[in-house]
Structure formats: structure tokens, C-alpha cells
Amino acid sequence: MGALSFDAVKHLLLCRVERRPPRLDLDFYPYLPKATVEKTRAGSYLRLLSGDAA
């Protein structure tokens, strides 16, 4: 899963032991930056193909 930190590896191991899916609750890690991911519109890809991307 590309986990590099101690916390991530510990979380994955505990999930396996407890037989539950890995899901990281970010409330326990307030120092991690919050990421916002927006949906990409199909028109954005069409602009790249047309050469009009600026």
C-alpha cells in the first residue's frame, strides 16, 4: 500500500489482526495536512487534447 510511516504500518497491522478494513481516521493525526480533491470535468481533458491548455 506504499505505507512509509510508523503510524501507517501500525494501522495496517492492527487492521489485519482485528480483521477489519484499513481506514485511517485523520482525527487522530491533526498534524497531517487536509487534502481536498475535486472532481475533474471531461471538458478539462478535451482542452488538453485540443492544445488550448494554458
pLDDT for 16? 92
Q: Is the whole model's pTM more than 0.85, yes or no? A: no
pLDDT for 2? 63
SS3 call for 41: coil
Tens-digit pLDDT string for the chain (54 aa): 566 788 888 888 899 999 998 876 778 778 877 778 788 888 888 888 887 655
Q: Are the beta carbons of 52 and 31 closer than 8 angstroms?
A: no
Question: If you search the block for the grid coordinates 482542452, which residue do you land on?
Answer: 47
- 22 closest CA partner among 8, 36, 37, 4: 8
How many residues appear in the chain?
A: 54
